[in-house]
Amino acid sequence: MNTIDPNTHLTIGALIFPDMDQCDFTGPFEALSRVPNSTFLTIAKDTGPVRDLRGLRILPDLSIADAPQLDVLLVPGGHGQEALMHDEAILGFIRKQASHARYVFSVCTGALLCGAAGLLEGKRATTHWTAMDVLPYYGATPVNERVVIDGAMISAGGVTAGIDGSLVVVSLLRGVTVAEELQLYMAYDPQTPFTAGSPATAPVHVLIAVTERAEAITKQRMETGQRYRTRQHP
Amino acid sequence: MNTIDPNTHLTIGALIFPDMDQCDFTGPFEALSRVPNSTFLTIAKDTGPVRDLRGLRILPDLSIADAPQLDVLLVPGGHGQEALMHDEAILGFIRKQASHARYVFSVCTGALLCGAAGLLEGKRATTHWTAMDVLPYYGATPVNERVVIDGAMISAGGVTAGIDGSLVVVSLLRGVTVAEELQLYMAYDPQTPFTAGSPATAPVHVLIAVTERAEAITKQRMETGQRYRTRQHP
């Protein structure tokens, strides 16, 4: 694997936004903020506190206007992603960063934001399992894997898949040994107490309950995707 | 399993502090902030932003002085835990909460804070693998498991073990189905890209590197533990 010269300083940043799912961001932060010879920046539309879907308030380091070019842009998801799907300041930021970044790394429905910014055309990608059917509207081929690499676009599945994805990103940046060291530090040796973590393994009543709860946001995401497709390919 | 009446509102809170390891807190936040019929409070010594070990800044909801009695107290760890091991305001808060909470849930070296508050005497417990040998100073029996339940004291191992632990806590509070629903929502079906997540599975050079990097803080934690033991059993 060709990693980057360890003497090359890397700037890694995350776009955070209201009603995101904080774990899409904080999971990857754990590994990505510890990449040797790097700086991690938390970036938002402006510099006020950003409130996640469940009320966690995070202070960004910088506004999108003041952010430097990043080597890696992390784009988390969560319900709040929907409110940004026509926000040109945000989409333009993602697009501009993507044009020179080494990697764009989406977690969960952060992939849809990348899609709305035009980054998924012709790409293989993944997202939260409830939103997989939305990906084709953005020209992407949905891949039912936890982490998908397609050139400079790396996508991870729902929420906690970002942790797996972040270790993959670290290995691409600094090699497998560095990723393994971070995995050991993070004690990432999961022993899930239940086996309901994916639609394939969850009990049917659990799958039905969670799918139903996501119905409204899923419908909205589909409609947004349809509108995007119509605009691009009228 | 005897869970709590679903009509009983639960107050769940986390103590956060400077130089904590943010993922010890944000991992469990993901599930615990979604427990049905509950409120989640983020609590710190005072209400200014709390900066984690790697620079993530989180705004607490309340100071320890203003916090109500909690049903569950989450105590994360990280290097910053050491600075609080003689902080009577913090230890008194943990002790007071513990005396009426249904559960105290430590993640990573948050267990050592619980130890310093006197909660681990005669208990089975776990912590980050680098700190397992510190537990006996606090009267605890170290157990090499990812999540350890001993009465009202629940402890999880290093960093990401808090995610596993939080699902266990949810199941104790609201039953297995609710925990499974959250696991599915979080897509917690880990597929670790490498197998270095525990000392037992990490390559030797990785284990040596991470152990060496933790040497200074581990030594400090051992000395703090020794001093505690001497004070309690002179």
Residues spanned by the domain of A170 = 10-232
* B114 belongs to the catalytic site: no
Query: Whats the size of chain B, residue-wise?
Result: 234
**Rounded to whole angstroms, how far apart are CA atoms A47 and A174?**
30
Pick from B54, B189, B197: which is nearest to A198 by CB?
Answer: B189
Residues of A with Cβ-Cβ distance to B181 under 8 angstroms: 196, 206, 209-210
Whether A194 maps to a domain, the answer reads: yes
Whether B5 maps to a domain, the answer reads: no
Whether B97 maps to a domain, the answer reads: yes
pLDDT beneath 70, residues of chain A: 1-2
Whether A113 maps to a domain, the answer reads: yes
Q: Which phi and psi angles does A158 have, rounded to 5°?
A: -65, 140
Q: Spell out the residues 6+ positions from residue B25 whose beta carbon is closer than 8 angstroms to its own.
A: B14, B16, B42, B58, B74, B76, B107, B162
Interchain contact, A180 vs B202, CB within 8 Å: yes
Whether A1 maps to a domain, the answer reads: no
Closest CA to B99 of B152, B20, B46: B152
Interchain contact, A160 vs B186, CB within 8 Å: yes
Across B153-163, average pLDDT: 97
Interchain contact, B194 vs A201, CB within 8 Å: no
Task: State how beta strands B103-107 and B153-156 pair.
Answer: parallel
Interchain contact, B181 vs A210, CB within 8 Å: yes
Kindly report the number of other CB atoms within 10 A of residue B115's CB atom: 29
Whether A42 maps to a domain, the answer reads: yes
Q: Which two tokens stand for residue A211?
A: 């799918």
pLDDT for res B234: 78
Across B83-87, average pLDDT: 97
ipTM above 0.85, yes or no: yes
Number of domains into which chain A is organized:
1
Residues of B with Cβ-Cβ distance to A183 under 8 angstroms: 192, 194, 196-197, 202
Residue B1: pLDDT band with limits 50, 70, 90: low
Whether B1 maps to a domain, the answer reads: no
pLDDT for res A233: 80
Whether A5 maps to a domain, the answer reads: no
